[in-house]
Structure 1
């Protein structure tokens, strides 16, 4: 099978699957157009053949109807018994047939004549219509078949084929008194009538061919516009590589193909996000694990196996670094899972119970004045484990960057638009304004944390991922020396208890506010 060219020159380094695309057969556009033209051609052909068959059958009916009317006119003339031209009674069948032939106006392929016994006693053609489309009386084979027909009892309509023509004809015998009988013969050239009908349908076939050409032209343009998004999908897919997933397909119109384009673009967004997360995870692992591995390797190389004290110190340092790497890997895995749809598993949760339980779990984190700022009464569709993880991470940060005996508050409230807000506040060192925009990014640490070598910079990134997975957001209110408040806001989480008190600010503790030592 010959190769079909696509009209494009592929680069030499193109993948084999891309280079052989044009060898797979017809394009979608060509297949759809071929099907459209084939169906249209079949429809036109079926309509033409059916109509031609019906018209052929009707042709014989029309010929028979014309022949019957001619016979009825002859009978009417014979029944009058008077020659209209002379006013005298008919004396012979030949006179009746003369009047009848004078009134016959033959069609294009019609002829009429009379047969009977002549005055000299011979049998043959007596008279014929002067104005006639055909001259059947000159067809000797046809006339010979009619011999003796004038003696029949009644008129007949039949068909015969001679070397000259295919005749559909009527023979109507006439008798007047004792005069010799005669007969009127009216014949149609059935073959010529059918040839004229065939010529009409040959014109139909020509017009159908022109119509098919028009359908093909218009179909080529219309199908081209319809499948344009599909071609864009293919081209975009060819442009996408492992290092560049940014290409998107333009959305045209608002039909099913436009919906397909939107779906493909959404899929590309997910793929790009997935690849980006994968690359970032690999970069993060490579960056963050290289340092502790280097430290462990360096101490193991310098360790004196014969010195028990040196070996013990090196072992303790290696275990500490391994613990740090374990925690780092666990945080990285959590961030990698944050983009998965099953990262959060929502269920109906009593929010007040959740906040109480988080406060109880946070108390062992440090010697602080733990305070319950507010309880949001009601239930919400949340993932309690992930929110507990986020709030405990914030509580751990609050302990890490505040002094012993200072206050750490935790609470929640419903906002006016039905969103659930959960917060953790402290009275610690705070965060500089220029650093606040970056603290929720991976491995971002404030200047104080960097100076102390404290933390991996993933805690707040995990908190932000949990908030985003719930469809919410996280905000920061902080200033150096004034402390920090981090708030998780989850919209449309549920409905507050209608009997609950209005939410309270941390600066104005509600009646249910509790303080834990």
Structure 2
């Protein structure tokens, strides 16, 4: 859908010839905006990817340095425990700090950008040989001074630390060394890495990456410029049609030609407009119906409160009872609206293993309080299925309440639960007058009320709630009329998938359901 562009009004005549100038400039502006967005997004993506990769690589480098320093500390501790002799000889303790440090330095083979020295009582003792030591940390007086200032008795002396000097940035450990034979002599084994040099090597890699990314961004910009230009041509059709669609008039539809991507886009937009038109209509109808439903009890309450005689106790009690009844009716309406409003949430139903046979018996007991009817369980499924027992009970009782509303006192209301061809069927049959032919398709719509609902001030939300609960379980609710000769009434069926079925894998005879009804 294109954006309306200024400078293309109908006041410009064909004979003035500004149109060929204005249209390309406007189209180029749209292309420029799209290209700016694409290039900015791509550049941002490349920059974020490079920054993330650099940060991860630097973290990996620091982790590798710290792991190497930790291994150096572990090796020194192993060496401090004793000097191995022959296979049959016991480990002998070290007799000299100097000897221990010399052995530790000799055993440590420095890696790239790594240096090793030892100190005894703050003075340089020995370092790795010039052949094996790429980094001469003994020549950095600032580093040696920083190491000499450390407390060798600090319990955190084994932990890696960062030291910055005017030469570079080091990551090191200064490991304290003592031997029982020389308790007053304190040595230190210093293992240090030139972190700045290792970081610089990583950064050089990402500088190369940045150069390659810039070249790729330039090539992509050139190609995208021509591709976007070709793509924008057919969009004008959608733009011109969309101009005729207003907020108050959603009846306009885009003319569809062909079967390409543009045709699919037009069909999608048309479908969206259909949904919006229905949604706006439903919204207006909902607002009107809710306003009407709440206005009536409020008017009744206000009228009786204005006429109540506060000195007449009987009148006060009567008015109080009437007001409470109207408040209860408004509360039920609000509760029903809240239920429908939350029907699309993923936690609207919480399926759990449920004994369907026991649930059938419980619903039967609860139904007895709905009215003076003869409630009969015709079929009972002794199975366990994954359903939300509370929601199913709510829907089932609503169907039973609906049957009571539309049937005569002491008539029979039948209910049952069955497993049929992989489906869990929960149904209710009454002996009422049935549903008129023209209302069958509308009884599950919100605020649609039959004659009995109008007489009893029903809000028309009961069956829509049942439909919402069935839909949330992946099922549906439908009605059937009894076969000819089977009497009056109607059958409402909750048709649910038999998920997690236990002891219910049998398939009932296809005529069994109608037989029970």
Q: TM-score, length-normalised on structure 2?
A: 0.49
Q: TM-score, length-normalised on structure 1?
A: 0.49
Larger of the two Rg values belongs to structure: 1
